[in-house]
Structure 1
Amino acid sequence: MKLLIVDDSKAMQAIVRRGLTKFEHVTFSIKKASNGKDALAVIDEWHPDIILSDWHMPHMSGLELLAVIRKRELPIKVGLVTTERNEGRIKKAIKLGAEFVLAKPFDDESLHKAIIPLIKVKANNGFVLPKLNRLQQTLNRSLSVEVTLTSGAPQQVSSELLPCIVGLFEDGLTNKIRSIAVLNLQAACILGGIKSELAKGEIDKMLAEKRISKEALEGGKKALSDCAAAFTIPGSKRNLTFKNMILLADDLQKVEALFNKPDEQRLDLSCQSADLQSGSITIIAS
C-alpha cells in the first residue's frame, strides 16, 4: 500500500516514517513531500493510497491539499497530523473529507489506531464498511444538529454496553445482511434524540436513567435508515438498504457474537455532538 508523508519538517517526516515501520497490519511503500504543492506532483506520478499531511506548511497547506484532492475526486485517504488545536478548524477539515486529525506530539499507538480504519476499506475482501467521511456527511444531512464521527477505541463487551441498539443493513438484491451497526446507549440517544428533535434535557435524562424512549428509538431508526447511502457494495454502484433496528436489553451473548470479528471486518467510531456525552458506534461487516 502506497503512503505519502507531507510535512515541511524533516524531523517530523522521520518520526512518522519510523512509526509506520512498526505498523503490523500492512507494509507501506513510503514517499515524502515538503508541502502540498510538492505533494500534488508526487500524487500525479505515484498515485498514493493514503496521505498523512501536516496542516501548516509553506506554498500549500494540508487543508488546501485536501481541498484539491476532494475537488479532483481522487481515491486517496487523507489524515492530518498537526499542531492545530482550533476546534472549528478541525471540524472544517473533517467536513472537507479528512479521515482524522491527529494532534502532535503523538505516540506510535495513536498513529496506528488512526490509520487502521484507512486500510480496512482498501483490503476488506468485499466486506461492506462505509468510508468515515462519507458516513459523516450522510449522517449530518439527516440531522438538524451537527454530529462528529472520529475513529474510536473498540467497544468492550460487558454488561455496561447494555442496553444497545443494533441496526441491520442488507443487499437489496440478495436480501442478505451485509453490515451491522452497534450503537451504545449514548450514541443511540444522541442520534435518536437529535433526529426526533428532543431537547438536550430530555436526552440527558434518558442517559441518566439508562433508557431510551420510544420517540428516540424511532428517531434512531430513521437516522440509521438515512445512513444506508454511505454503505456502498464493493465492485458496484449499489448501496445497502436499511432493514431493521433491534434493541438489545439483556442478551450479552448475542452482542459477543456480533463483536467476534477480525479487525478488517469492523469500524470503531466515537460519536460526539455539542455538550452531550460522547457515544460509541461499531460497524461490523457480516
Structure 2
Amino acid sequence: MKILVVDDSRVMRQIVIRTLRQAGHGGHDIVEAENGRQAVELVQTEAPDLVLSDWNMPEMTGIDALLTLRGAGSAVPFGFVTSEGSEEMRARAQQAGAAFLIAKPFTPEAFDEALSGVGLVAS
C-alpha cells in the first residue's frame, strides 16, 4: 500500500506520517509532495493507493490538485488533512470527489476512521 502525503510544510508532513503510524498504518510506503502540482505528477508516476493532502498550498492548492486528477480520469482515493474544516469546505471537497476531510488538530482515531472508510485497514 502506498500513501502520498501532500503539504507545503515538511514538519506537517512528518506529523501526518507519525499520526498514520499511531493509527496503525505504519506499514505503508509513504511518498511526499510539497504542493498540489507535485502531487498530480506523483499520482501519475508513483500510483499511490491514497492521497492525503493539505488544502492551502503554493503553486497548486489541494482542491485544484483533486479537480485536476479527477479531470484526468484518476479515481485515486483522496482525502484532506487541513486546518480549516468549515461546512463549505467539506461540501466543496465532497463535490470534487474527496473521500474525507480531517480538520487539524487531528487524532490517530480520526485517521483510522477516515482510512477505514476508504477501505484501508491498519497494517
TM-score (norm 2): 0.90
Q: CA deviation at 1:24?
A: 3.1
Given that 1:49 and 1:75 are in contact with CA atoms closer than 8 Å, whether structure 2 keeps it comes out as: no
1:113 is paired with a residue whose SS is helix
Given that 1:19 and 1:108 are in contact with CA atoms closer than 8 Å, whether structure 2 keeps it comes out as: yes
Once the two structures are superposed, what CA deviation does each residue of 1:76-121 show, in whole Å capped at 9, x if it has no partner?
000001112332232011111111111011111111111112125x
Once the two structures are superposed, what CA deviation does each residue of 1:194-229 show, in whole Å capped at 9, x if it has no partner?
xxxxxxxxxxxxxxxxxxxxxxxxxxxxxxxxxxxx
Distance 1:25 1:73 in 2: 27
Asked which structure has the greater CA Rg, the reply is: 1
Counterpart AA for 2:118: L
TM-score (norm 1): 0.40
Distance 1:84 1:26 in 2: 25
Q: CA RMSD in A?
A: 1.7
1:68 is paired with a residue whose SS is helix
Q: Which residue of 1 aligns with 2:10?
A: 10
Which one scores higher on RCO, CA 8 angstroms, separation ≥ 6? 2
Q: CA deviation at 1:25?
A: 6.2
Q: Which runs of 5+ in 1 are unaligned?
A: 124-286
1:59 is paired with a residue whose SS is coil
Given that 1:54 and 1:81 are in contact with CA atoms closer than 8 Å, whether structure 2 keeps it comes out as: yes
Counterpart AA for 1:97: G
Q: Which runs of 5+ in 2 are unaligned?
A: none
Structure with greater proportional strand content:
1
Distance 2:105 2:26 in 1: 23
Distance 2:108 2:22 in 1: 8
Distance 1:84 1:29 in 2: 27
Alignment identity in percent? Answer: 37
